[in-house]
Structures are given as C-alpha cells and as structure tokens.
Structure 1
Amino acid sequence: MFASTRAPSPMFTRAAHASLTSSSSSSRRVRRTGVTRCETAGSVRREVLKREERTKLDPSSDLDFYAQPRFVTHVDNDFLAQVTELYRQRIPANSKVLDLCSSWVSHLPREVEYAKVYGHGMNATELGRNDRIDNFFVRDFNKDPRIALESNSVDAVVCCVSVQYLQRAEEVFAEIFRVLKPGGVVIITFSNRLFYSKAIQAWRDASGYARVQLVKSYFSAIAGFTAPEVITDMGAQDDSILGKIRRFFQRSSSDPFYAVVAYANYKPVYEQGDCRRMSVDDDECIA
C-alpha cells in the first residue's frame, strides 16, 4: 500500500510567494532503537490503521476545504503557551526546523533564533503571512505524503493540532524520519479541538488516552524512532493539596494538552553545553 517516498518538490520563500500573489528515502541503519538487522531505519514496519479507520465524514478535497484563509488559532492561549515551552526545551537554538501542517503562526519561542524554519501547510496565503517561516510548500499529504526536503536535512519536526487529519499517517511519519538528522526530534501536539468532518474515523471515535496511543503507534510503526514520550503538562508541578486543586480547575477550564515526542535513532542529552548520544532503551551513554 505504501508508496515510495523520494524526490522533494519545489519550495517557496515567503518573498517569492508575495511576488507571485502580487503578479529519496534514507538508508541509514541503527541498533539502539529496536531496529533489527534486516530492517532499514525509516521503513514502515506495519500498517496502524485499517481502511475504514482512515475515512472521513467529508470526503471532498482537503485543498478546497482549506482554500479560504483562516487567520485564527484553534486552541486557547494556555495550550499554545505549553506548546511554545515544549519547543523551547526540546529544540536547540540554531536548529533547522520543519513545521508540518502549519499556518500563519508557528508557536516557536520568539527569543530563540533558528538556522532555518521550513513550513508546510494547505494554504499559501496563511503560510506567506507566517514571519517565522523562511521557505514553505503546499501539499495535501492525503494525496501525496512526500515532504519537499532532502534526507537528513532538519534537526526538528513539529506538528501542532493537525495529526488527526492524516489518512496516510504511516507514510508521513516515514517521511519525517527520512528528513530528520540522526538525533533529531519530532514533537506532535494536539488537544480535543478539530474539524470533525475532516478528522479520520480512528481519531473521531477515540478518547484522549486512545488518541495518545494512536500517535505512539505511528512512531512505533516506523523503524528507527526512539520509544515515544508522552507529556500532558509543561508547567511546574506543585504537588501540594492547593496545587492539585489549582491544576484541576485549570485543566477543566482550558484545552487539554497532549504531546508525543520521539527522536530519530537516539535521544541527545545536553549536559553543560556538551551533547552526548544516549540510548533511551537502556539509558547507557554511547559516544
């Protein structure tokens, strides 16, 4: 079922887009993340979704659905603050970042400088308004899951509140692995907000817990990703009785926060400015 993930397609700079509107799969092998000797890192181990689980209530063109620009955020500010804090903690400065399923804002921390930020989305007008993106491309991953970047070219891939729309998620996650450098991080964040008619059945029918398990299964379906980590709160933990009561009322009044994080091949450990490679399977540091 899975198509070959090869050549990238043209990518626009924001300047080029403004001007217009006014007028191969990785072969690296790894050992430390459960990849067997007969597997190629980045290959699809298995299909996660059945055919019916990939279906949407609205089967019309996704590009048509997103053709009208929407300069809004679909989750509340508390949720977005946690997304930004997670990016701040997990994506080092001067990284090359790919923002998948992006729009007019990327939620990256303003004070952090990145070497390059690439964007992907469904609406060129929205992407052209995003001042954190240097280059972008428009593509419907449900028709063509290829990412328009070279292999081993980025340090981080992020996707905020959009994973629920991927009908070919296994192929997209294989492409994510392909474009990541070894040690690169993937951050998938989501809440309970969605365009219901455009979400896949597996997502619509699932609870918050089941959705977390589904995203974890996308990572485990691709050879080479580390064991995914689940995060539901980026705030400082106050375990006093008062703190627990405060967290209860905060969570009940704001959009729930879920993040699933994994790395390509190994998880880097930053210690006093020195990056070491460490296996997340056995916590053994490897030089």
Structure 2
Amino acid sequence: MNIKPKDKVLDIGCGSGELAAYVAQFCSPQGFVLGIDPSPYRIELAQKKRAKNCYFRVASSDQLYFLPSNSFDVVYLNYVLHWIENKRQVFEEIFRLLKPGGRLGISMGDKQQNSKVYSILMKSIHETLGKIPSERLVTPYYISREQLEKTAIQSGFSIDHLYVEENIHYLSSPSKVIEFFEASDFGNFLAGIPQKTKRKIIRKMRENLARLATPRGIEMKYRTIVFIGHKP
C-alpha cells in the first residue's frame, strides 16, 4: 500500500485494532490511522493498545457519512468486505473519502473456495436438515474476483493489482476446525439455526472432519482475493 509518514489512513472493520496499531507506525509522526468497527466490545479492546497517532470509533461501513470527502490517503478493509452486503455503496463512499490518488486495499474471501473442509460443513448441514437453507449460513456476502473488479470499476477506481491467492494450513483436530469457523465468523457461524440443531450439525461435522485427519492434521485451504486500486 506504500503508506507514507504523512498519510491519513482509514481501517474499516478494524476489530480489536492490531493491524491499525501496526500501520500507525508507518504514517507516524504526521499521519494517523482511524479504525472503525460496529462492535463496542472490539473498539474497547482496540483503545487499550492505541498509539499516539491511532484512533478508534464505533461505526459500521454504512455510517461513513460522518467523515469528510477527500480526507484520506489510504483506506483498507482486511477480511471485512465479505461481511458487507451492499458493496457498491461502500466502494462509492470510500471513493468519496479518498483524496485524488488515494489508495484502496482489500483482502477478502473468494466465493470459489474449493475447500474439502467447507464441503464437509455443507454436507453436515444437509445431512442434519435434509437441505441447505442458505449459503449465507456460512458465507454471507462472498463475491468472485470478477464481481469485485466490476464493482471497483463501476465505482470509479483504477485497479493496480487484483489476484487470488490460495493458502493452506493444518489444524490438529475437528474441534480446532470448528473453533476456527466460530472465531473467524465473529459469532455468525450457523447464525439463525436453533442451538439444539446447531449442536447436531457440529456433532456431524466432527464425525465427517475426523475422516480428513492426517499425521500433519486437517488441511485448511482458503482462497483470498487481494485488491489494490486508487482514485484517479
């Protein structure tokens, strides 16, 4: 993202602020990072690690109107965009907030995951419920690389880099895989399913995941879209 010492940076969906605090080092001493997140709890955690030039506020991606136009050099969303339904609106608001030449960086889950673990999750839901009521039980608002490219261009951005990378790591047990889903989904994992039914799905998932176990653990494959663009 080529962050410079004078840059004013906006972190949308900053969570508990680790990345914002890290980025603040690069725009010090004259620049700053503003991190926003809809969770008061996560913002409270972020405030505890605040650097001099790092600020946090409770706000969501559809509440950017309080920020002035042409006021940021860099905006980024790190594994956040796939939780936002109206992506076009967010892109247009970010375009408004960026100065001419300002940069936008995004990393997000790809709609096409090609993951055995994800397939097992969907299989476990189907085996328990007899159907899959909605993909949004697991992947709320994922889009493809092509859809992201189209939305960015329609919103006025020039694209500098856009690619998909696939990462693989291993978790030691079915329980660790389920913990990963629950932690990364910020409490939205199998949202809307009654707790009794959710427990049945998780029990079935553990059984199915056990069949994937190897001496290295259970393979977790994840495809990430990386986007870097700028406002002309």
TM class by smaller structure: 0.5 to 0.7
Letter in 2 for 1:112: F
Q: How many residues were matched structurally?
A: 152
CA distance 1:147–1:228, change in 2 (3 Å) = farther
Instruction: Tell me whether 1:219 sits opposite 2:152 in the alignment.
Output: yes
**Conservation of the 8 A alpha-carbon contact between 2:3 and 2:26:** no
Q: TM-score normalized by structure 2? A: 0.54
**Conservation of the 8 A alpha-carbon contact between 2:14 and 2:36:** yes
**Conservation of the 8 A alpha-carbon contact between 1:97 and 1:118:** yes
1:229 pairs with one of 126, 139, 161 = 161
Letter in 1 for 2:137: S
* Secondary structure in 1 matching 2:17: coil
**Conservation of the 8 A alpha-carbon contact between 1:151 and 1:180:** yes
Distance 2:109 2:84 in 1: 15
Distance 1:257 1:187 in 2: 13
After TM superposition, give the deviation of residue 196 of structure 1 in Å.
Answer: 5.0
* Secondary structure in 2 matching 1:102: coil
Distance 2:16 2:137 in 1: 22
Distance 1:155 1:93 in 2: 11
Distance 2:160 2:63 in 1: 22
Equivalent position of 2:58 in the other structure: 138
CA distance 1:91–1:198, change in 2 (3 Å) = farther
Greater strand content: 2
Distance 1:100 1:107 in 2: 11
* Secondary structure in 1 matching 2:5: coil
Letter in 1 for 2:89: E
Instruction: Tell me whether 1:102 sits opposite 2:42 in the alignment.
Output: no
1:93-122 Cα deviation digits (max 9, x unpaired) = 321100001111342546524411111111
Equivalent position of 1:5 in the other structure: none
CA RMSD of aligned residues (A): 3.4
Distance 2:92 2:108 in 1: 20
In structure 1, stretches of 5+ residues that fail to align are 1-86, 204-209, 234-251, 266-287
1:112 pairs with one of 15, 22, 26 = 26
Greater helix content: 2
Q: TM-score normalized by structure 1? A: 0.45
Equivalent position of 1:197 in the other structure: 137
